[in-house]
Structure formats: C-alpha cells, structure tokens
Amino acid sequence: MFNWKNLSWKHLFVVLLVLHLLPLWIFAYFPSQDGVSHIYNAKVLTDYADQANYKMRDAWQLNITIFPNWLSHISLAALLYIFPPVIAEKVFLSIAIGMIPISFFYFFNAVHKDQEGKFVYAWLGFPFAYNYLLYMGFYNFTLSISCFFFSFGFWWRHKDDMQVRHLAWLYILLLLTYLSHIASYGLIVFAISIAAGWTWGTKALAAGWRERHAEWHREFIIRLKPVFRFLIYMVPIYFVLIEYYLESLKKHPQGNHRGIAWIWEYFFGVKSIVYFTDWHIPVNRFLLVVLAIAVVISIGYRIYRRDWVRQTDAFLLIAIVFTYMFIRAPRSYGPGGWINDRIHLYILLMLAPWLIPDIGKFGRYTVAACLIVFSLLHWGRTAYDHGRIAPEIAELVSGAKLIEPHTNFRHRTSDWHKSEALGRIEYVTPFAHSTAYYGVYADDVGHLENYEAAYDYFPVNRKNASAPVDYFVAWYPPDTDAFRNETANYEVIHETKHLRLYRKRRAPGPMLDLWQRNEAGNLVIRFDMQPDGSNTATDHHAIGPNTLYQSGKFGWDTRAPHEAYRGNKNRTELTQDAVWSKEDAAFKLDLPAGRYRVTNTFSASRNAIHTVNLLANGKRILKDFIVDNNEVHQHTYTVEATDGYLTQVIFTPNTRVQTGGEWDRKDHFWIWNGCTVEQIF
C-alpha cells in the first residue's frame, strides 16, 4: 500500500524536473529566437568537410579557434550524428534546461552540507531554468548557468583542502564555463574570488583581533596563507579573463548603456524570467515578496543569535556586487550584448544561499511551498504559451522539406514580432530564426540570413556575401515594392495563411540549341575555360571567371574561381589559357537525363605542379590527379545523370603541393582548361 510518508524531497525534485522537460517534448518546436541557428551551424560543422557540399563551402568558412560559444555547437553537432535536427535540439535542451536545477541543488548541498533544511531555497533553480535568455536562443549561455553552479559548488566543497586532483576538476569545470559563455565565466571568477577573500579574510581579521598584542600581524598573515594559495592556482583563470577583456576593449572601447528607468523596471519585474508577455511580472513580484520576508527572517535570526559573521555572508556580498554590476554595466560591447540581462539572472540565485535555511519545520515547509507554487505557475504559463506558439512555428516551417539540395535561401517578413496567438511579442521573436529549419532537412543548403556568420565568436563565418538566392521564405509577406521587385523572378511553390515559399523560376528544361550533334547524332557540348575576352576554341562556349550558372544553361554555381591566366601561345586555343583557383568551384550544366562521357582538360604552367580533385554529382572522379612539367592532361569518365544536371566540383588536395618557377607558392591551386560533355547510349 502506498505510503505518503515514504516520499522525500528527491521524489518531488524528480516530479518537478520531469514537468519542466515536458513542454520540450509535447510540442513539435521550441519557440526560441536564435536557437535554430545553432542547429543549422552545427550541421555546417558536420557537413563542411565533404566537398560535395559546395554551396555550404562557398557561403561559409570555419572559424576553428578556442573561444566562448563553442560548447552548444559541439554538442549539437555530435547529436546530429544520432538524431534528426528537431530531436537533436530537444535532447540538447533537455540537458541544458534540466541541468540548471540539478546544478543549483548540487551547489546548495556543497554550501550548507548537513544543515537542517539545506534545500529549502534550492527550489528557486526551477523557475530560472526557463528564462529570457533561453528564449532568445542563447543556448551557450543556458549551458553556462549549470557550469557556473557546478564550478562554484565544487570549489566551495574543496576550498579548504584543494588537492591536485581537485584542482584538475576545477580547471575542467571552469574551462567548460568559458567554452559556454564568457559572461558566466567572468561572473564565476568574480564570485569565487569574492568568496575566497571573504572566507579567509574574515578569519584572518578575527584571528588578529583575538591576538591583540605586538605579534597580531603575524597571526593575521598566517591566516591569509589560503588566500595566497588561492591566488596562485587562480593565475591562469585570471589570465584568460583579463586577456579576453583587454582584447574586447581594444575592439570596442565604448559600451552601449541603458537608462536607469529600464534598470529598475527590469530589476523589480525580475525580467530575466520574462519572455513572451508581461503575465510573469506580477507573479515575479510575489517571488520578491517571499524572498524579502526570508531576508527579514534571516536578519532577525542572526540578531537574535548574535551570529554576526558567517562564511555564507560571502553570497550576500556577491549578490550586492552583481547588483551594482547590473546597474553599471552597459547593454553591450560591440556585438556582444545583453550584459545586464545575464548578470541579473544570477543576483537572486546568489542571494538564496545567504538566507538562513534552518527556520523551523513550519517555516521551511512554508517557504518551500511558496517557491514550488511559484515554479509551477511559471512553468504552467510557459507550457501554455508553448502550446499557442507551436502551431504557428509549424506553419512557418511547413515548407522546409521542399527545399532542394545544393541551393540557398533567404527570409523576409513584414514583422517578426507578430503572432496571431499572442499578439505582438515584445521581448523575443520566436519566428525570426526558426526559418533556419529550411537549411537542415536537405543536404548542402545555404541559409544566407545566418546571423551568427557575421561574428567572430561563432565557429561559422561568412565567406561569400553575394551567393545567389534560390528561395525566399516570406512570413507575413511584406506588401512593399522592394519585396515585389526582389521576388519578381520567383514563383510561389507553397503557401499557407501567413507563409509563402518562393522559388527562382526555372527553364522548362535544358536549352538544347546550345548543344551540337556529333557524327553519331548524339548531343555534345564543349567549354573553353579562359580569361574574359580571350580567344575561344572552335565550337566551344567561353567560360570566364564570372560566367554564373543560369537555369537551362550552364555556368559556375559558386563564387570561385575569380582567377584566370594566359599561358603558352604555342598551344591550342583550348590549352593556352585557363581558369584557376585555390578555392573549391562547382560548374553546373543542365542536360537531359541519360549517360554521358565527360572529358576534362588540365594543363600545367611552366615548371608548375598542381593536383586536381574532382566530383561529378557527388561521386569521386579524380583524387590527387597530378598535372606537371608544362604538360596537357586529359581525363575521361562516364556518368549517369538522372536529375537533369551535371555538377562538377573541382578542388585542391588536403596535402601541400610542391611547385616551382613562376607558380612558386606555398598553398594549393588547381587549373582547368576545358570540358566536353557527350551523350552516349
């Protein structure tokens, strides 16, 4: 028979944790602003090494350096090898959100150890698991919150006996915090330093006060030894933070400050846990009242017990310092923003461990009940809003699987804040970057509105800003002349109440009048790759560095190459000049379905050696094909074209190429003179 007396706080914790994860799995999509961009860029990371993904490689370049904002991309990239994109995001968010209350309970357990009612204020971790910055899509920062509390809890637990193995784990935890977000890294370094100074500084002062004689300073210095040890093992931690700060200050010497009216409104509305509507604000004030009463009780308890100084007073000092930082900090330094919001989220969470947990059984149950009720109210409204927004996001992404491989798209809207369910959403725009779903279902899709690519603190950066647009995703389509002009050469292929998906108009088929017939009557087409204005070989089409692909015809389907050269005039018109590049290039030809013989011509300049790699419709044709000694090389292969086009991707090898003479250079390049495509049966 079930006995309620067998239940403990652990059972309640599990129930609340499961409840807080349910909205992620009940509804199809998580309504964050930037979150789906992280999924798209994680897909870029997983697919970038494959040269068949030439659209991605043309649009983006990888920024593989050690900096904050890495952890979510690595995690999502790993999950994409196992799960489809939407499920990968749900798994990631389950970990990121679920770890916040878990880490907060771990932190309280470290601070209060065996004290009666040590977890009474730890329930505060649940409402802060769903916060404004999470719905902004700041997944890295969300990860950093749990890293903050795991780091702080671990340090507090072992601060008086910091052995080498403990120090190694502390460094790992702080490194994870740094790789999640620099704001949480800076705040944890400040918080630990304040706690260390308070803990050992007050002990040293007390010892010096007790020894009020000529040698008092000796006792004071002895008691400060832990501070010196702390400063020694924190040197590398400080170095990383100072180096990052100075580098940022060099790039962006002035910040962008918000007004004091915004500061107080944000602070007393606890707006770090407000996202879709203002519904949360009056409920948040109930939380402030509960915590204010707890502060009064804690002060009264301390006065009654004449308990003037405690180690946990460090947390009150940290909360005060964080409040000052919240008020004084700018909104942003350069592109890095929402600084006040990030600091504010930690203020109440840092105040909580200062509050006296041992306030009697009735007091503990009352406070815990208030915090749990607040958490349930917060969670209930969040789940309700998820349910209302989810159908709109489903409508927005309903055309995602119509996007074809090897294409690019952009999005447009008249108002990203507009929601039929919630009205105008002021704080976040859950539709703005949900269009990134259009880039994750098909292979090699360039999401040209990828905002992360503009910033050097993300692993994917922009490479080709002028990539052609194959699709427009229009949410609440703009009724403007500019938008009509932009989509004049596009047709609607999918339409719902608020969505239109435009695709660039295509020719009804390959333009066969550009082809010739060979002696057997089969179609054949020839191309001469050359500088603009050079002599073109007989019966060849001139392909210059900027001959862009046109539907039904042919041309470069990437930005590269932009280089061309004129070589040995004693050669034929086909082989005396060529295009060349150090970047990948894709040449696309529309053709009828069938089997084809393709002959490519490559030549080396005087004393030059280069290596050619070639894909045809994603299939490897040439691997490290050597062209050297001023020779002309031809290579022929057959290919089955079933999709109405032949795309040849030419690229450089992964190993260094030894060259000399006029082409003496330390990096790779390829040279392409011409191509013939002949239909065979």
Query: What is the secondary structure of 327-355 as a DSSP string?
Result: HHS-SEETTB--HHHHHHHHHHHHHGGGS
Question: pLDDT digit string (tens) for 388-442?
Answer: 999 999 999 999 999 999 999 999 999 999 999 998 898 999 999 999 999 999 9
With cut-offs at 50, 70 and 90, classify the pLDDT of residue 665.
very low
Torsion of Cα atoms, 437 then 439 then 441 then 445, to 10°: 170
Separation between Cα atoms, residue 336 and residue 454, nearest integer Å: 12
Q: Are strands 460-462 and 60-62 parallel, antiparallel or unpaired?
A: antiparallel
Tell which residue, 9, 113, 114, 19, has the closest CA to residue 367. 9
With cut-offs at 50, 70 and 90, classify the pLDDT of residue 363.
confident
Separation between Cα atoms, residue 484 and residue 414, nearest integer Å: 13
* Identity at 134, one-letter amino acid code: L
The reply to whether the predicted model has a pTM over 0.85 is: yes
All residues at 6 or more sequence positions from 584 whose CB lies less than 8 Å from its CB, including other chains: 51, 54, 57, 58, 558, 560, 649, 650, 651, 652
Separation between Cα atoms, residue 277 and residue 279, nearest integer Å: 5
Task: Answer whether residue 210 shows pLDDT above 80.
Answer: no
- Residue 116, number of CB atoms within 10 A of its CB: 12
All residues at 6 or more sequence positions from 216 whose CB lies less than 8 Å from its CB, including other chains: 208, 209
> Quick one: tokens of 227?
């501070």
CA-atom Rg of the chain in angstroms:
32
Q: Domain residues of the chain, as ranges?
A: 19-388, 395-504, 512-680
Task: Answer whether residue 1 shows pLDDT above 80.
Answer: no
Helix segments in 81-181, DSSP class H:
85-112, 132-135, 139-158, 164-180
Tell which residue, 38, 71, 40, has the closest CA to residue 143. 71
Task: Answer whether residue 662 shows pLDDT above 60.
Answer: no
Separation between Cα atoms, residue 606 and residue 589, nearest integer Å: 31
Task: Answer whether residue 215 shows pLDDT above 70.
Answer: no
At residue 572, the pLDDT reads 84
Task: Answer whether residue 305 shows pLDDT above 90.
Answer: no
Tell which residue, 186, 197, 188, 190, has the closest CA to residue 170. 188
Give 444's DSSP letter.
Answer: S
Among 454-463, 498-507, 549-558, 594-603, whose mean pLDDT is lowest?
Answer: 454-463
Task: Answer whether residue 520 shows pLDDT above 80.
Answer: yes
Q: Rounded mean pLDDT of the chain?
A: 89
With cut-offs at 50, 70 and 90, classify the pLDDT of residue 517.
very high
At residue 243, the pLDDT reads 87
Q: Using an 8 Å Cβ cutoff, are 105 and 119 in contact?
A: yes
Mean pLDDT of 256-277: 91
Scanning the structure block, which residue is given the tokens 């799960």? 83
Question: pLDDT digit string (tens) for 438-479?
Answer: 999 999 999 999 999 988 888 899 998 888 999 999 999 999
Among 5-19, 50-64, 212-226, 235-249, whose mean pLDDT is lowest?
Answer: 212-226
> Quick one: tokens of 262?
């915004």
> Quick one: tokens of 522?
């089969």
Separation between Cα atoms, residue 163 and residue 160, nearest integer Å: 9
Task: Answer whether residue 115 shows pLDDT above 90.
Answer: no
At residue 661, the pLDDT reads 42
* Identity at 571, one-letter amino acid code: R
Q: Is 150 exposed, middle or buried (0-12, 13-18, 19+ CB in 10 A)?
A: buried
pLDDT > 90 fraction of the chain, expressed in percent and rounded: 68
> Quick one: tokens of 465?
């800003």
Question: pLDDT digit string (tens) for 307-345?
Answer: 788 889 999 999 999 999 999 988 877 667 899 999 999
Task: Answer whether residue 387 shows pLDDT above 60.
Answer: yes
With cut-offs at 50, 70 and 90, classify the pLDDT of residue 656.
very low
Question: pLDDT digit string (tens) for 124-182?
Answer: 999 999 999 999 999 999 999 999 999 999 999 999 999 999 999 999 999 999 999 99
At residue 594, the pLDDT reads 93
DSSP 187-255: HHHHHHHHHHHHHHHHHHHHHHHHS-STTHHHHHHHHTHHHHHHHHHTHHHHHHHHHHHHHHHHH--SE
Task: Answer whether residue 263 shows pLDDT above 50.
Answer: yes
CATH number of 512-680: 2.60.120.430
